[in-house]
């Protein structure tokens, strides 16, 4: 069964807009778990404009489901993650000023760097996933890093889904088949929504995890958090 990990960055953005602790990040994370989410994802950035370092530590002490930390593997990020020891770390190639993730890794150019980083995380018992596009060479070289999983960057699928969903999903299915042949676990994330998630899952049913934040939190404004999480989980059956 494909697991749903809820990215709570947007909750932190809302909190930070007013200061204080409303909404309470830890309470929302616990509610997500209580409503059926099988994981919580955060992406702390150097400027702490949404998730803060203190949030990461607070969450680690209370979460009962999978804890996934995303980010660029700077020395500071590596130190944080190896100290917190989440269940999974997802490596993204974002520069510090990026608003959101917008590309997968060039694993060919960054092979040696990623090998070292992957080994460092695995040495302390953290599962590693590398954020990649559907370029087959990038997936092949991701496997050479020793990573446990890759996460497919699904924004192109979401963008073209309404125009031609069969054409939109085709490169992702081919990439997923290649990852499976290479022995890599498979995650997916970015711009997945109630509109397109079920179709992606039907075409790639062996997905191990999807990480969803912006669309899910936006839907929760209309449906409520509990009902929204239930709706997303229905797309993964």
Catalytic residues: 43, 70, 190
Beta pairing class for 209-212 and 66-71: unpaired
d(CA 159, CA 186): 21
CA count, 13 A, side-chain hemisphere, 183? 7
Residue 67 — φ and ψ, nearest 5°?
-115, 120
* In contact, 71 and 105? CB cutoff 8 Å: no
DSSP string, 113-169: HHHHHHHHHHHTT-EEEEEE-S-HHHHHHHHHTT-SEEEEE-HHHHHHTTT-HHHHH
């Amino acid at each position: 069964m494909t697991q749903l990990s809820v990215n709570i960055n947007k909750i932190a953005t809302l909190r930070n807009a007013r200061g204080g602790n409303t909404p309470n990040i830890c309470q929302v994370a616990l509610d997500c778990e209580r409503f059926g989410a099988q994981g919580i994802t955060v992406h702390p950035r150097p400027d702490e404009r949404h998730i803060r370092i203190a949030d990461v530590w607070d969450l680690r002490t209370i979460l009962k489901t999978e804890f996934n930390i995303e980010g660029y593997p700077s020395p500071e990020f590596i130190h944080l993650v190896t100290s917190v020891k989440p269940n999974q770390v997802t490596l993204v190639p974002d520069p510090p000023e990026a608003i959101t993730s917008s590309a997968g890794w060039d694993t060919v150019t960054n092979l040696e760097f990623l090998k070292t980083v992957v080994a460092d995380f695995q040495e302390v018992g953290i599962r590693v996933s590398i954020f990649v596009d559907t370029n087959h060479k990038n997936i092949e070289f991701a496997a050479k890093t020793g990573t446990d999983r890759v996460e497919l960057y699904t924004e192109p699928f979401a963008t073209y889904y309404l125009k031609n969903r069969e054409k939109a999903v085709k490169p992702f299915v081919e990439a997923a088949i290649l990852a499976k042949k290479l022995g890599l676990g498979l995650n997916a994330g970015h711009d997945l929504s109630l509109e397109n998630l079920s179709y992606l899952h039907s075409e790639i049913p062996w997905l191990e995890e999807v990480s969803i934040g912006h669309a899910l939190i936006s839907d929760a404004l209309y449906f409520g958090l509990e009902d929204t999480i239930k709706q997303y989980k229905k797309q993964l059956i």
